[in-house]
Amino acid sequence: MNIIKSGKCNNSPKNAFVEDFTIRILTSCGQGSEAISIHWYGESFQRQPDTIQVIDAISHGKIGAANGMVSVGDTEYGFAAFVEFKTTKATEVSDIKLYIVEV
């Protein structure tokens, strides 16, 4: 699997956490921990992606977001992920919403 990170998270541990967490959820095809509520909207893929590219990852307070592209075989998907943290320290995630669309 090829992972391409945004390269924009060097000065923000919270942004880097959002980026890494989103990659982890995408590589698991939405099968996460029972303690985290995962909402998957739009397209789905049944196997691990060949490539994940994160274009942007940001955070503010208890919310983080990331967007990018996922390749599975010959199919390309765009994604947007919205992460809700349990606290503003961003050490634990309570909820993630993934929006996936074939492009």
pLDDT in tens, 33-49: 557 888 999 988 888 99
Q: Measured in whole angstroms, how far is the alpha carbon of residue 94 from the centre of its chain?
A: 14
Query: What does the pLDDT look like over 54-99, one tens digit per residue?
Result: 999 999 999 999 999 999 999 999 999 999 998 877 788 999 999 9
- Which of 26-42 are b and which e, b meaning 16 or more Cβ less than 10 Å from the residue's Cβ? beeeeeeeeebebeeee
| pLDDT for the residue 42 | 95
Contact (Cβ atoms closer than 8 angstroms) between residue 33 and residue 21: no
Spell out the CATH class of 2-102: alpha beta
pTM of the model as a whole: 0.89
